[in-house]
Each structure stands twice: as C-alpha cells, then as structure tokens.
Structure 1
Amino acid sequence: MVGSRISSRKKTFWGWFFIAIGAICLPMFVFAAVVSKLLPPSDNPVIAAVQNDRYYYLLVPLTLPVLVVPVYFHWLSMHEIFLAASTDLIRGKKKKKTMVEHDIVIQEHNP
C-alpha cells in the first residue's frame, strides 16, 4: 500500500543514487585493501594510516564466508514458502487475502 504511492521517478532516483554510492565505495575499498599495501610507505598521514591498517584489510574479506550461513537459511525459507504455495495451487486451495492485499485490490478498482 505504501509502496504503491512512491512515484517511478523517485524509485529511479534512489536506484541510481545507490548505484553511484556503490561505484564510489568499491574503488575506495580496493585501494585501501589491495593497492595501498603495494605502494611504498607514504609521508601523508592519511595514506600511511590506510597502508598500516590491518583491521578492515582482513574484516571485509572474512565477512564473505560468514554470510554463507544467512544466505543459505534465507534460500531455505524461500524454498519452503515456494513449495507450500505451489502445493496449494496444485491442490486447488485458494489463499485468503490479507488486509493489506484486500486494501490494494480495493484501491486498484477505486482510483
């Protein structure tokens, strides 16, 4: 119901905004994690701090294996929901509409 009120232009703006933020953050991380370690020691205190950093250098790559467990459980739950919905369709059972779905249907018929 709330999602239907968001205009297409606003959705497009936020989509491009997040893509731009990701496009800016990725090269910064690659520089901090990989490139800065290959450069000679710097006199600039900011670059020297990035070169001497060992926390984020290891933290970000090590979060990828940890994310496997939540991604697996999310897939498993979606698989169970899909199976339950598909077996109901095969058996011919109709799902009762929730209040939100009912409100959306009413709004679509009464603009």
Structure 2
Amino acid sequence: MLGAADLEASMVYEMKTNSATPAEREAFIRKRMDEFFADKNFRTPALGAREAYQPGPLDRATWNELQQQPQSIRFQYLVGKEDVRRVAWSPLKQQVVHLPGFGG
C-alpha cells in the first residue's frame, strides 16, 4: 500500500518553487498513478546474468531460479523519493518475491 506521501515525495525533483499547491500535488499523484504500471517498469529477465546474489530476505535457490529463467519478469516501482523496490513472480515459491533493491 502506498500513501499519498510515498507517491508525492519525488515531486521535489520537479518543483520550480519551494512549495506546491494542493492542485499541483494532486496532479503529480495522479500522474504517478497513471504511470505506475507503464512498460518502463517491467524488465525481462527479472535478474540479469551479471547480478550477484545479495544475502537477505530472498534465498539463494529462488535467486538462482529467477536468474536462470530468461522469461522471468521483474516489476519495479518507486516509494518515496529514491527507494526503488523490485518484485518478481517465483514459480519455485508460487508467489511474488521481493528482490534486493537499490536506492534510499
């Protein structure tokens, strides 16, 4: 679940003044919502061959499975200003898994 604050935080990078009006904030949030499932947010394969395993919540077997499937798909989205989250469907686990990300 993403709140309005998560959706509008990156607005600071586009602002021309020190503050935004309620209408500007609403327009920005609507734009983010409209672009959320844009093609640019999907990547195939979910994990590139050169990406090294990063210990964390994703176990090595699932990492290897995703990395070895060229048809696997990753979806990434921005939370806040710079926190890019990445998820992919894992046939091994039969669920969506969080991939190690990058950002703030």
Of Structure 1 and Structure 2, the greater helix share is in 1
TM-score range relative to shorter protein: under 0.3
Asked which structure has the greater CA Rg, the reply is 1
Bigger proportion of residues as strand: 2
Q: TM-score, normalised by structure 2?
A: 0.26
TM-score (norm 1): 0.25
